[in-house]
Amino acid sequence: MYDLGDIVVMKKPHACGENRWEIIRVGADFKIKCLNCAHIVMISRKDFEKKVKSIKTKAIDVTTDIDNYVKFEN
């Protein structure tokens, strides 16, 4: 459901006034970074799922597939 790089909106804003956060670690705990002041917070999965309001932007899944790679030559 939640992936690295997702931008989530929390129910309450951070002290700097921003309520959008980037997920930088997923597991039993989440590590999120404020998009305004870059403050990093570690939060348990239970508390994170309770405090998150919505997913603003899903992370783009970047894969390096050799078949889709286009080589440009001069």
Contact 9, 32 (CB under 8 A): no
Share of the chain above pLDDT 90, in %: 64
> How many CB atoms are located within 10 Å of the residue 19 CB?
17
pTM, whole model, 2 decimals? 0.74
Q: How many other C-beta atoms lie within 10 A of the C-beta of residue 14? A: 17
Percent of the chain with pLDDT over 70: 78
What mean pLDDT, rounded, does the chain reach? 84
| pLDDT bucket at 60, cuts 50 / 70 / 90 | low
